[in-house]
Amino acid sequence: MNDITEGGGKADGIITCDACPVLCRIRPEKTGACDRYGNSAGVLVRMDPLVVTQRAVDDKGAVVPFLEAAERWDGSLVRPDAPVFVTGIGATTTYPDYKPAPFIVASRHDGVDMVTVVSEGVFSYCGVKVKIDTDRYIGPEPAAVRVDGEQIGHVTTAEYGSQMLALGGVRHLTGGSKKEGTVTCAALLALCNKEAVEMTIDDGATIVVQAGKPPIINGVQEARMRVGCGSATLGIFAPQWHGHVDEVIVVDDHITGVLTEHQAGRFLDMPHAGIRVRGRKSTPGRYFQVAEPGSGWGGTDVKDPLTIVERIDTKTAWPGLRLLMVSTTGEDSAFFVLDDQLKPKPAAMPDPIRLVVDRIGENCEPALCTVLFMGGAGGSLRAGVTVNPVRLTRSIKHLRTRVTVGGAPVYVWPGGGITVMVDVTRLPDRAFGYVPTPALVAPIEFTLPYQDYVELGGYTDRMKRIEEVLQMPRAKPSAWRPDNPWPFDRSAALA
């Protein structure tokens, strides 16, 4: 437990916090295990401010564009009549679940009476999905991902130019040892709060992941996400190489491309060069498994690109044949000319070819880590919204109720329950918390027309006007992120 006040104030009486199942007994002027609730003069209080976001407006009441709003914002409420949205950050929870949500906010937008039900959800059933933009080999599927030696998730199916991790989930949070659950919860919390986490992968790499930042793999920071697989790279740049080179081989762990065999080369009437690469031929000019995965060229273990050349057909190839070998990011490239014995010899790369190799790099997007929080809100959390929880689920599925997390837009998975997924970079900083059960605490908001809320069986007797909320000492104004859809915009909600 930590001091609430500097030096630790004293007051009579220990109180029990009922905001989660741990039921911390908190001494006067101390906080509970999660640091989120404290004993202030014998009263249980939420220690963090309630984050209230507001869109900046000009003198005529119009919303200020993104850059202008960022420049003008000074941290205060811009105008009393500016659009306001109360987030769940700092709102408190509904535990033990039958309690109405801590904030049921009534407001009026575009002539429509609206309600936003605001809470902090305790998510035992949660995790993160991590997208790592790299061709580098990070480990086999489904290898264990570990922090401090404890498994917190696994490597999952690779996607186009990215490696993917599935981390957390109820089995790692509560299904293993106490240490496994504690380490998993701490790693998830750090990732969701946009902090860096170092992980090791069994039979793979050591990686550092931070939302919105480049991945660091075995101590090397990635810079580029590949422009495409080897075949796609040929399809994009073949016309630009035509006439300057006789063969191009794009080395790729997934699909290595050979230009003169590929349909792109055939379309340009390029003659076969007779250079056959290793691996399993898929379709003309497209080869699988030319090498093992690794940190070399195109996500393979290749250091010398000529090692993937299986043979050169003496009946097809010719002396002076110009050969370019390049990776899918353009970071690795080499130019060769066949000698009289049809052996590839390194040569200076001509400027027209170098221009296209550089263009591959130019077309590669910056390598980043994406962290998506994923949680199940289809259980007891709904009881804080309505006495008939299934109606909330149906209202969300029918697009009558809009779900946000800290004001950020979410993807709601089809099927049963309310399973949401959100990009953590679209939330304010430090939006997530935890309880030592262990579980993550995430803000969540449900916004819908007032009449719909009545039909849901909502707690209309517990509603507060937005003006009341803004007068609370804990209310902390924050600038609305203009690239997030405005929750009260019905057209955006139905898009």
> Higher model confidence: residue 41 or residue 486?
486
For residue 76, the number of C-alpha atoms closer than 13 Å in the C-beta half-sphere is: 4
CA distance 291 to 294: 9
Provide the mean pLDDT of the chain: 91
- Candidate from 41-50, 77-86, 155-164, 363-372 with smallest mean pLDDT: 77-86
The alpha-helical segments, DSSP class H, found in 102-225 are: 170-173, 178-192
pLDDT digits (tens, 9 = 90+) for 374-385: 999 988 899 999
Query: Residue 17's pLDDT is what?
Result: 87
Q: Where are the alpha helices (DSSP H) in 48-150?
A: 66-72
**Distance (Å, whole) CA 149 – CA 179:** 10
Query: Bigger pLDDT: 443 or 47?
Result: 443
Dist CA 371 CA 192 (whole Å): 7
Q: Is 73 a residue whose pLDDT tops 70?
A: no
Which pLDDT score is estimated for 19?
Answer: 82
Do the beta carbons of residue 300 and residue 294 sit within 8 Å? yes
Per-residue pLDDT tens for 105-163? 999 998 899 999 999 999 989 999 999 999 899 999 999 999 999 999 999 999 989 99
CA distances 164 to 131, 133, 472, Å, are 5, 9, 43
Predicted confidence at residue 18, as pLDDT, reads 84
Q: Does residue 117 sit in helix, strand or coil?
A: strand
